Homo-oligomer: A and B are copies of this chain.
Amino acid sequence: MTDVIATICSPPMLRLELVNTGTELCLGDTINTNAAWIGQRMAALGIEVARQTIVPDGGAVREAIEEAAARADVVLVSGGLGPTNDDVTRESTAELLGLSMVQDATVTAHLEAYFTKRNKPVSAATLRQAMVPVGASVLENAFGTAPGLYFPAELGASRGWHSHIFLLPGPPREIKPMVENCVEPRIRALTPDGASRQVIYLKLTGIGESDIVEKAEKELQAVPGLELGYCIGKGDVDVRLAGQAGPVATGAQIVRDRLGEFILSEDRRVLEEVIIHTLTESGEWLATAESCTGGYLASRLTDVSGASKVFGHGFVTYANEAKEKHLGVPADLLQLHGAVSEPVARAMAEGCLQVSGANHALSITGIAGPTGGTEEKPAGTVFIGLASLGQETVVRRFFYPISRDRFKLLTSQAAMDMLRRRMKGLPI
């Protein structure tokens, strides 16, 4: 069962398997985000990962590589390339393929430069990382010590294998550039028309997957050679279009025509990035006044480097007294309508605009739950206000009866989307 609509359709497909090594993955001390990231990258190439195998460091690694290599066309192995005793991926693979190892001069020089720069000695254990099986190619690691290795399929011919094997480092900041720069070009070269393949992502917000399907899927599926996928993000959905340049361009135009107002970016930028960049371009300032989201909206905005150029003032007015004192919300308004109400959201946004001197102010007041709801305003009810200099204040009511963290996420997303729509001249 899956909540995710995901279609990949590119025969003939390579069988690709992933082997992640690391005791920390088996003990659950590390969440396997590499596997998901690689899955997405391969899906973008039209390949569904056929199997992921995760084993602890040590002897199980060899077993897992052997099994995967016997089944697959491409095996990506991550982890176990480091200097410690339980890092056995390099040696296990060489043994499986019957390859001897030689010390590589370029890798040795890289390791020596790396450690000299850090005023550390180059130990014998470290130099194990410079050993390269004969016939394998070194994949440069710009962000760490252990290089990757690529074993072309012909090295496994004597065992009856036909799989290309890549050994990659475990840390995300090391494996990601290596996959993008060294693995994907080689996989593209193995796929028919792989080299000229394109993938684009149109990121949508303010619309659910089922509405996307209803409004555009039929037309998209009618484009010959276009592969279509959806990827649910944090409050947004990526429409993934892959194939040759022509069909991809046709597909993108269909999405723009049918769903243009919901497209927040075509380069995978998330909403807070789009907001900060758009404000920076227009030279406008934003301020926030949050009750139930408790600072989460401000925190998302300030996740973007450079936010200080357009965001100066944020208020977390959790208590009614704070709404009165800092935003000038009249006490009788709170008394009459309650803190969670259209008039209070309006007064918060307008008060925030005034006190901050910003061009736009977003306000949020609601009931995050799980407690605090009433029959008229159940937990999950939230009012979002947007006040802008010289424009009419808008207040919208939303209902997110979900977990507290999802509530904060979707509420802050809806708030930023109101501002995005205003800045683009779309109806809010």
The reply to whether A48 and B23 contact each other, CB–CB distance below 8 Å, is yes
Instruction: Using CB atoms, name the residue of chain B closest to A231.
Output: B29
Task: Judge whether B81 and A1 touch: CB under 8 Å.
Answer: yes
Q: Which residue of chain B has its CB nearest to the CB of A64? A: B51
Identity of the chain B residue whose Cβ is nearest the Cβ of A21 in the assembled complex: B1
* Cβ-neighbour of A52 out of B26, B298, B371 (below 8 A): B26
* Bound-complex Cα distance A315 to B213 (A): 42
The answer to whether A404 touches B303 (Cβ under 8 A) is yes
One of A37-45, A217-225, A251-259 at the interface: A37-45
Interface string of A18-40 (1 = CB under 8 A from B): 00001111111111110111111
Q: Is the CB–CB distance between B28 and A31 below 8 Å?
A: no
How many copies the complex holds: the figure is 2
Main secondary structure of the interface of A (DSSP, over half): mixed
Asked whether any CB of chain B lies closer than 8 Å to the CB of A109, the reply is: no
Q: At the interface with chain B, which of A92-100, A180-188, A317-325?
A: A317-325
Partner of A311 from the list B290, B292, B297, B318 (CB cut-off 8 Å) is B318
In the complex, residue of chain B having the shortest beta-carbon distance to the beta carbon of A80: B1
Known: A312-B318, A315-B316. A25 touches B6 (CB 8 A): no
- Chain B residues within 8 Å of A35, by CB: 25, 28, 32, 54
Q: Most B CB atoms within 10 A — which of A8, A294, A321, A322? A: A294
User: At the interface, yes or no: A380 with Cβ under 8 Å from chain B?
Assistant: no
Interchain CB contact under 8 A, A50 and B60: yes
Produce 1/0 per residue, A394-428, CB < 8 A to B. Answer: 00000000001100100000000000000000000
For A79, what are the chain B residues with a Cβ–Cβ distance below 8 Å?
1
**Bound CA span A42–B27, Å:** 8
B-contacting residues of A (Cβ < 8 Å)?
Answer: 1-4, 6, 8, 22-33, 35-43, 48-57, 60, 64, 79-84, 87, 146, 169-171, 229, 231-232, 288, 290, 292-299, 301-303, 305-308, 311-319, 321-322, 325-326, 355-357, 368-371, 404-405, 408
